[in-house]
Amino acid sequence: MALVSVSILNGDLARLADVAAVIGDARADMLHFDVMDGSFVDNLSFGLPVLSCLKPLVTLPVDVHLMIEDPLHFAERFVKAGADLLSFHIESRSDAGETLNAIHSLGIPAGIAVSPDTPEETVFPLLEKMQPEDFILMMTVRPGMGGQQFMPEVLKKIAHLRSRITALDMPLHIEVDGGINAETGARCRKAGADYLVAGSYVLCSDDPAEAVRSLKTPL
């Protein structure tokens, strides 16, 4: 069964506490918190003050996705602000190995995010540096904007990555983010994903709890 992380970015941004409550009531497993700096991606979103204010109101683990140029510089501050999982892009300026080590030193799982145009093999040299419960975040849309169409060509990359992780016999997870609904989520799970990030599919649903259940339906 997949774990579901619901992106608060797709909710009413004027009522984030209420959106967080909806996500919790829907029985999601995590709250996904997207951070964009206007440089690494062509958009701006939440930062440290918002996370610090939201964290005391959230009952779920907060899954923070850094879409920023220098995640190494900010990792400790985001953990102190409330991140329970922290992912960063391999395409960022920060050294990926150093960033992994920094997040591990802070005592939480680390994730390496991979944009659709980046070959999955780019992360292979880093897999043996990862720790149990770490994860690879495979983007099935281009990072920076919500509401994009799912890119099915990433499914082969997910399957290849899962095969590599299995061959290494490592307890690592594959998270998928972008255009996730019941159909695309099932396709990602069949390819090897075990964490699904959903946004509008859950928060724009008439029944968010049912939307979350549909993502967890046994294959």
Dist. CA 21–CA 34, nearest whole Å: 17
Q: Is 206 one of the catalytic residues?
A: no
Catalytic residue among 29, 37, 63, 177: 177
Spot the catalytic one: 18, 25, 34, 63: 34
Burial 12-33 (b: 16+ CB within 10 A, else e): eeeebeebbebbeebebbbbbb
What does the radius of gyration of the chain's CA atoms come to, in whole angstroms? 16
Active site residue 177: yes
CB 28 within 8 A of CB 6: yes
Collect all residues with Cβ–Cβ distance below 8 Å to 76 and sequence separation of at least 6.
102, 106
List the beta bridge partners of residue 174: 136
Whose CA is closest to 159, among 195, 187, 130, 200? 187
Q: Tell me how far apart the alpha carbons of residues 142 and 17 are, in angstroms, rounded to a whole number.
A: 27
Comparing C-alpha atoms, which of 87, 98, 51, 46 is closest to residue 175?
Answer: 87
Report d(CA 118, CA 188) in Å as an integer: 18
Query: Which residues are annotated as catalytic?
Result: 34, 177
